[in-house]
Amino acid sequence: MQNNLLSSLSSKITKLNRKDIANDLLIGLTLAVVVLPQAIAFSTTLAGVPPYFGIYAAVWGVLITAWLNPSRVFHGGPNSTLSAVMGVTLLPVAPQFGTDYIGYALTLVLMAGLIQMLFVIIRPLAKLMDLMSEAVINGMIVGIGLFLILKSITAFGGLPINTEVEWPLMIAWHSFLSVIEFGNMYAIQIGMVTLISALIIRSFDRIKNWGILVGIVAGTLYSEYLNKTYGLENTLIEQTADFSAIGFVFPSFPLFTQEALPDIIAIIPGAFALAMLGLFQSVAAMRRMNRKMAQHVDSIECVKADAVSNCILPFLSSMPTCASFNRMWLMFSMKPKTRLAAVSSAFILLALVLVFSDLIAIIPIPAMAAVIMIVGANMISWSDIRPHFSSWPEAVVFSSAFISVHVFGLFGAVIVGSILALMYFKWHKLHPQTTLINNMLTIKGSLYYGSLPFLERKIKTFSNEDSPLCIDLREISYVDAEGERWLQEMALHKSAVIYRKSKPRAVNERRKGDRRIS
């Protein structure tokens, strides 16, 4: 069902009191303050594009997703993972911040949006997102969190950003050694002031949401003190680009020329990675919020919001958008009543940038790198990791997804994650749960061609020559045609006594011969 944002907001706002409206606007202000340094840092430090790309993603990306996604806690905009994918994909193609690089960046986002649109048009593809297990998602998130920390080391130390594509751990180690040996001490001091200030504020629950902003302010003030004391020609502190030219909208066009065609073909795998990672995160974040809020927003709504947004944003000088775990969790904790919170955050952010552009321009890059480190550390949560080590299959899936980020790169991690998700799903289907009490074997799960060898081994192990084994099928949820023939053969040879609640009713599913137990 198509959602009309304006009519939905107007009808709900009229039912709210002033306190609820004020609370939604306060949430919007808080989100604007939180997303501002993230938008700048993600665009400049990770994606390698001008900072207004991140700002427009936090404005137009949020507005479009708020229009299409009915959840009141969904918040799109710039995303650290997608920004990192852009940087990794485009580094071999053109120099960062250059005209060609920006053109390729817009093309990359558009291709990712078109790939996502296939999931909207072909609905079964969108349902495949539901098969992505939490172990795979969390493994990739933790791996990407560590990736962000490692990638920020050089910028934190005032050195040129490492342009290696793979970013394995060995390169990160050499980057760390380079910072120790050749690092700009002024830049390191600014990064440490930003980091320590943000962490101190975040240690207090009531003001922890202000941690990033306070850290940015502290790092910027210290940077200005150093520049005035020693001179910018001596400190060599790189600052954020000028925002004075930013306006309400900045039209742009992706790069599609015959000369650029070989490079465009080369970044198609990156576009696929960008599209899939965005969808994975949006669906996973919405799934968590559904459970937290006892609501249900279908995954297709998330897919549609991402796809439409990422097809429009390349024409608005914007980075791609997808759900933000940290901002959605912030919204949930502040309890918004309507989508006014998300909508107001976009307009408040734009107003802040238009009014205070001169102040934003002097934010030092080492402070941005410190913010990225904090964001990466927030993605590594032991409370999310620990449950996956309660069983060895989940531990293998989680660990493999985590390692693949650093061994195979982000695109390889998407492929490995998808394969692991299917393997994890099939593993449980192939191994139904069995319980033996006295001489009664209870089977819980699916009885189909793939699970029959496993069940045959179990029956052979539990069979008793003195009396046939009793098999309880009351907790079987599915039986295919081969499973039904197997049961008939068991009964014919009197290998076991089959017990079920009622006689299975054969149901022809799309003429494939599958049968279900009623």
CATH number for the domain that contains residue 469:
3.30.750.24
Residues 125 and 48 in one domain: yes
Mean pLDDT, residues 373-401: 83
DSSP at 125: H
- What pLDDT score was predicted for residue 146? 84
Are both 325 and 353 inside the same structural domain?
A: yes
Q: Which of 367, 391, 423 is the last residue of a domain?
A: 423
pLDDT band at 23 (very low <50, low <70, confident <90, very high): confident
Give the whole-number percent of the chain exceeding pLDDT 90. Answer: 19
Query: Domain residues for 476?
Result: 431-499
Structural domain includes residue 45: yes
Does 486 lie in the same domain as 365? no
pLDDT attached to residue 53:
92
Q: 331 with 469, same domain?
A: no
Q: Is the pLDDT of residue 175 over 80?
A: no
- 286 and 263 in a common domain: yes
Number of domains in the chain: 2
Same domain flag for 167 and 270: yes
Same domain, yes or no: 443 and 400: no
Specify whether 354 is located in the same domain as 444.
Answer: no
Contact at 8 Å (CB) between 386 and 211?
Answer: no
Of residues 483 and 290, more confidence is placed in 483
Is 120:307 a contact under the CB 8 Å cutoff? yes
Q: What order do you get walking across the sheet with 440-447 strand by strand?
A: 433-437, 440-447, 469-479, 496-499
CB of 344 within 8 A of CB of 72? no
Of 27, 52, 50, 54, nearest to 38 by C-alpha is: 54
Query: Residue 215 corresponds to which tokens in the numbers above?
Result: 């850290």
Which residues touch 128 (CB under 8 Å, ≥6 apart)? none
Q: Who contacts 104 (Cβ-Cβ below 8 Å, separation ≥6)?
A: 90, 93, 94, 255, 260, 263, 264, 267
**Same domain for 114 and 192:** yes
d(CA 347, CA 335): 20
Q: Which of 117, 115, 118, 91 is nearest to 104 (CA)?
A: 91
Residue 194 has pLDDT above 80, yes or no: yes
Highest mean pLDDT (candidates 173-182, 344-353, 387-396, 402-411):
344-353
Q: Are residues 65 and 101 in the same domain?
A: yes
Tokens of 507: 């149901």
Between residues 219 and 81, the one the model is more confident about: 219
β pairing state of 440-447 and 433-437: antiparallel
- Residue 474 binned pLDDT confidence (cut-offs 50, 70, 90): confident
- One-letter amino acid for residue 191 of the chain: G
Nearest in space to 422 (alpha carbons), one of 430, 432, 410: 430
In a domain, residue 511? The reply is no
Task: Find out whether 147 and 376 touch, Cβ atoms under 8 Å.
Answer: yes
Residue 482 and residue 401 in one domain: no
* Residue bearing the bigger pLDDT, 473 or 518: 473
What pLDDT, on the 0 to 100 scale, is given for residue 13? Answer: 53
Is residue 451 domain-shared with residue 416, that is, in the same domain? no
Give start and end residues of each alpha helix (H) in 91-208: 99-121, 123-127, 134-151, 153-156, 169-182, 185-202
pLDDT of residue 237: 87
